[in-house]
């Protein structure tokens, strides 16, 4: 099915942009690598195990337009960092087990001189810096602003630093390969895909973070099969990462699932699992109830407050505009009944199921 449209037909075929873009994306070296990549470490152990064991993807989506747009934007960002700020970009790094491509690297000045680039602005002074660039939707970028980078993202950039520091650079025309390169700072740069907002987080390189990332990777590499690894995310419908996972069907048995059941039902495999789910539901419901009461009171307190900045919080208001008149279904029914006209009906379907979970008193 074509994804392009044209307002006027002149008998000349129009190449389908997105069909070709998906073919191009799947042909990229990163899409075909089989070694464990730093971008997969810390995310989900079962997904990483599928990659390590060479499992063929069960879900190759043809609607990943946002991801491909991010790839194109990413390439332009790296070109700017390379040409305007002297970064070395797309460095292939491996220790024979982990294979990754660091987006950008700035070395101390002496390394630039050895590489015969003495006049290049390094944008890092005398500290080696490795940077990973990530493009995000506005909503995802807001999460980064509020919560900071995820553990998996810090794992990724620390592993790039580790591979540089341990001589993992391969086949580079200027930098020394197979030799340790200095890295003292790791950086994550987030760029909004819609409006170009930029959020940067950087910190000194931390050996402990690298050790945690390597231990996570070793756990996956030691797995006998993907199914031996746990699912670390909440599953389709609850996790955007699971929604876009190329192994979604294999992981959650979606091809064997009844249409009206949630994928997560396979987790309730025995009495112990069901009991744990009931405990989690009851605990969350109690916390949610208390939080709703606190939120409702705070909302009432703020009802007359002017928009503005208060401490570390920004208050704004939206809505409040008058609504246009809307049809009154009850009045229309009365009119039809008064005229003796049968009221049109549509199938009622089924009501939604309502769960009830109560905590039994503990036995004395």
Q: At CA 275, angle to CA 271 and CA 280, rounded to 5?
A: 150
Distance CA 275, CA 282 (A): 11
Is the confidence at residue 239, as pLDDT, over 50? yes
DSSP state of 267: G
Nearest to 205 by CA among 169, 149, 144, 164: 164
Is the confidence at residue 122, as pLDDT, over 50? yes
Distance CA 96, CA 248 (A): 28
| Strand blocks (E) in 41-184 | 88-94, 99-106, 129-136
User: In the predicted model, what is the mean pLDDT of the chain?
Assistant: 87
pLDDT number for residue 124: 58
Is the confidence at residue 31, as pLDDT, over 50? no
* Torsion on CA atoms 299, 300, 305, 310, rounded to nearest 10: -40
Sequence length of the chain is 364
Domain ranges of the chain: 17-248, 271-304
Condensed to tens digits (0 to 9), the pLDDT of residues 85-101 reads 889 999 999 999 999 99
What pTM value is reported for the model?
Answer: 0.77
CATH second-level architecture of 17-248?
Alpha-Beta Complex (3.90)
Condensed to tens digits (0 to 9), the pLDDT of residues 199-231 reads 999 999 999 999 999 999 999 999 999 999 999
Condensed to tens digits (0 to 9), the pLDDT of residues 303-356 reads 999 999 999 888 999 888 999 999 999 999 999 999 999 888 888 888 888 888
DSSP state of 307: S
Distance CA 25, CA 32 (A): 10
């Amino acid at each position: 099915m074509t994804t392009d449209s044209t307002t006027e037909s002149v008998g000349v075929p129009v190449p389908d942009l997105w069909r070709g873009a998906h073919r191009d994306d799947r042909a990229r070296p990163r899409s075909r690598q089989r070694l464990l990549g730093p971008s997969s470490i810390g995310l989900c152990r079962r997904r990483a195990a599928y990659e390590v064991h060479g499992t063929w993807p069960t879900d190759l989506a043809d609607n990943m337009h946002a991801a491909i747009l991010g790839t194109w934007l990413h390439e332009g960002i790296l070109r700017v960092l390379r040409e305007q700020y002297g970064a070395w970009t797309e460095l292939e790094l491996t220790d024979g087990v982990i294979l990754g491509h660091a987006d950008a690297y700035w070395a101390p000045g002496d390394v630039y001189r050895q590489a015969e680039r003495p006049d290049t602005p390094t944008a890092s002074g005398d500290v080696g810096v490795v940077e990973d660039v990530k493009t995000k939707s506005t909503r995802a970028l807001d999460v980064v602003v509020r919560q900071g980078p995820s553990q998996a993202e810090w794992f990724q950039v620390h592993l790039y630093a580790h591979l540089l520091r341990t001589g993992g650079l391969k086949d580079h025309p200027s930098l020394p390969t197979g030799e340790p390169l200095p890295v003292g700072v790791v950086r994550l740069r987030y760029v909004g895909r819609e409006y170009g907002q930029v959020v940067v987080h950087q910190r000194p390189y931390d050996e402990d973070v690298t050790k945690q990332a390597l231990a996570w990777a070793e756990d996956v590499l030691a797995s006998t099969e993907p199914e031996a690894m746990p699912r670390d995310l909440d599953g389709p419908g609850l996790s955007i990462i699971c929604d876009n996972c190329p192994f979604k069907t294999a992981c959650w048995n979606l091809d064997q699932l009844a249409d009206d059941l949630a994928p997560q039902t396979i987790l309730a495999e025995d009495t112990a699992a069901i009991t744990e789910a009931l405990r989690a539901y009851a605990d969350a419901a109690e916390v949610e109830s208390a939080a709703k009461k606190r939120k409702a009171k705070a909302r009432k307190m703020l009802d007359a407050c002017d928009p503005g900045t208060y401490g570390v919080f920004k208050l704004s208001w939206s809505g409040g505009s008058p609504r246009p008149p809307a049809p009154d279904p009850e009045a229309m029914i009365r009119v039809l009944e008064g005229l003796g006209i049968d009221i049109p009906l549509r199938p009622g379907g089924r009501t939604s199921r309502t769960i009830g979970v109560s905590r039994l008193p503990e036995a004395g």
